[in-house]
Amino acid sequence: MDFSHKAVEKKWQKFWEQNQTFKTTNNNDKKAYILDMFPYPSGAGLHVGHPRGYTATDIISRMRRMQGYDVLHPIGWDAFGLPAEQYALKTGNDPREFTSQNIKVFKKQLQTLGFSFDYNKEINTSDPNYYKITQWIFQKMYENGLAETREADVNWCEELGTVLANEEVLNQNGKMVSEVGGFPVIKKPMKQWVLKITKYADRLLEGLDKLDWPSSVKELQKNWIGKSEGLEIKFQVKSSSDHINVFTTRGDTIFGVSYLVLAPEHNQVLKITTDQQKKAVEQYIQETRTKTDIDRQDDSKPKTGVFTGAFGINPVNQELLPIYIADYVLKDYGSGAVMAVPAHDPRDWEFAQKYQLPIKFVQQSKTNDKPFVGESPLINSDFLNKLNPKKALEVIAKHLKDKKIAESKINFKLRDWLFSRQRFYGEPFPLLFLEDGSIALVPESELPVQLPKIDYIKPSGTGESPLVNAKEWVNTTFNGKQARRETNTMPQWAGSCWYYLAYILTTSPNNFVEINSKEAFELFRKWLPVDLYIGGQEHAVLHLLYARFWHQVLFDLKIVPTAEPFQKLLNQGMILGENGEKMSKSKGNVINPDEIVDSHGADTLRVYEMFMGPIDAALPWSFKGLDGSRKWLDRVYRLIAKKTINAKNNKNLDFIYNETVAKVSQMIEDMKYNTAISQMMVFVNAANKEDEIYKPYAEGFVQLLSPFAPHLAEELWELLGHKESISSSKWPQSDATKMQKNTSIIAIQINGKLRATIEVELGTSEQELLKKAKSEENIVSHLKDKQILKEIVVVDKIVNLVIK
């Protein structure tokens, strides 16, 4: 008597759609904004990893509705993207049509899995109504001095004809290649739009302390922002009026400096390089342009560099310091220059040994055959000798500042955000370049600036966006003057920086309340911050950092009432192949959820993925585990469909039912979904031993099940006599007075060793305990042919038989 998942799922999905069951309400003081990281609608559709996070948020959303909360649980599409543009370039088709088709596939897949999304709130970042607001936010940033054009080193891919973000570049044997296609990438200076995220560095750092996020994500963001306090010291270049600014957090070790290192991209390199070294230096600079920043910072890689022929002068002892360039120094951190102290830095040590440079210890060390990186008094440091590093740092800082050789400086690893892409398929910039070189914003009344409909979208070949080919679109007028549109487009990140706000503003798919209005502010006051945000850890830094930056800008502009967008964050773990390897097409181990829904049912997939283990753990797929989940759901169906459901309580299930309600409710709160299912299994086992089930207990159990297996739960709810959706019922409550156990587990020992246990009613007499103990099968065998010397009984606890 198993249930037909196909019939049940089709029936209830139709019911939910017709009755708008999950439409966002605004009736209660309690609210829950439960958010998924919205998907990019690729041609491949969903894989079994996607439903894991979506099911986790759906469980909380469904429980919150039943607890009387107004729930906002939306879905939308991160629809601009390089894959769609690449498809257009290969096929000549419009990426908008390709993306629209992919969205239909994704949406259908999500609907078949029974997620309680409010599709009235559906958004699409490539819809002009949507990117009208993206453009408006950019204009506000520009007006407030947070956006400007700047010459910047970018990741340039000739084959793709575009600049790539760092996250779109892979390290292939130390060389940079594009994530899409694996084409060569080099560093190239180009004029780009940048957003000044560095102005918010301190706030982005401080704000992390108030968020309920995994500590690992907070650490990733802290390291990305990379705040460090130190000194910027001037090192004079020998026989020159030039000096090199070096940022260091270890000014106390200045007497141990034996050479200086500049990043190959440093703007002073070619200026100070001697004629004899020029060729070698230029060749090394070219080689470095093909290397990833990650590879350059990899301490396991051999250190390489080239001597410039120039020397610096140590300001404390006038020693000459050879100046090198090396790829392990990055232009974008500190001043792009390092004072090398090889005795106390492993990278400098390796470099010094390779190029036979002096190594001078300036801290006491037990051995001189490796760098010392601990804390010990200063030596070989003149007036700093015998001081501890902290005190030495104070003394040298004052000494150098008094001589106007150094100043205190706070540095961040965080760089301003390169915001231009040489692509056709992205948000157009809402501004114009005038003939006199000035920039004008497109009037707000003329937003959005829409992408032109053009057939020719091949790369320009000049490094510019393909939009340069849309001459009629590019060339326009402003106040009667000739003007030219920006042909670069915004990165895909732009739309995802504020999409969680778009859901709040949405009145119907891709129709929005004006963002800068009283109505919008009141809506934001109701729903912000997001109460729970679930997504993959691959977005731990960039998306979350960018979204926090935009939100803080909007907070300063009094558009939103909260300083942070996402209060609680959870990263769901990856689902691996059955062999424990990451799923990929090349390995042939990708599992299509459509096939699982067809064979086992959506509820089975949901329950299995939640039962696999902790939601944040990476776990291997198991078809055996999937089969087990289906068998359990069949068992649940039979329990309700076949058992006698009685209006009278025989009290046999009082304890286990109320314990299950209390535990499952708390486990969902704690997102311990696997243990919540385990507890429901305990209840089902207990209920199956009974001839009849008290109706309120059957109903309460089905309500507990409903967030996990919503289709089956709706069917069972109807079988129990209800006409309305289970989603509109009230979440069950436990009765603490019925959670006091009236039984105890008695340990039965022989000569102090545990041989059996029995469960008896509390207060069972000594005589009765002895009788029950001696009748246990394992005890009978141990007593055979033995003499009992002593019988020790502690009521409600233990029976110990001493035998000979």
Round to whole Å and give the CA distance between 504 and 502: 5
- Asked if 359 and 233 touch (Cβ cutoff 8 Å), the reply is no
Consult the annotation and say whether 210 binds a ligand.
no
Helices (H), 540-672: 542-556, 593-599, 602-611, 623-642, 654-669
Round to whole Å and give the CA distance between 128 and 511: 10
Element (H, E) at 219: helix 215-225
Quote the longest CA-to-CA distance of the chain: 114
Round to whole Å and give the CA distance between 59 and 54: 9
Residue whose pair of structure tokens reads 């079988």 in the numeric block? 719
Distance of CA 49 to the CA centre of its chain: 15
- Asked if 218 and 205 touch (Cβ cutoff 8 Å), the reply is no
Helices (H), 458-563: 471-474, 493-496, 499-505, 518-527, 542-556
Q: Is the peptide bond before 302 cis (omega within 30 degrees of 0)?
A: no
Helix (H, G, I), strand (E, B) or coil at 222: helix
Round to whole Å and give the CA distance between 547 and 559: 15
- Asked if 467 and 475 touch (Cβ cutoff 8 Å), the reply is no
Look up residue 793 and give its DSSP letter.
E
Query: Which amino acid, one-letter code, is at 623?
Result: F
Helix (H, G, I), strand (E, B) or coil at 125: coil
Round to whole Å and give the CA distance between 291 and 176: 5
- Selection from 135, 26, 119, 118 nearest residue 73 by Cα: 118
Phi and psi torsions of 184, nearest 5°: -60, 145
Tokens of 667: 């486990």
Binding residues for ATP: 585
Binding residues: 585
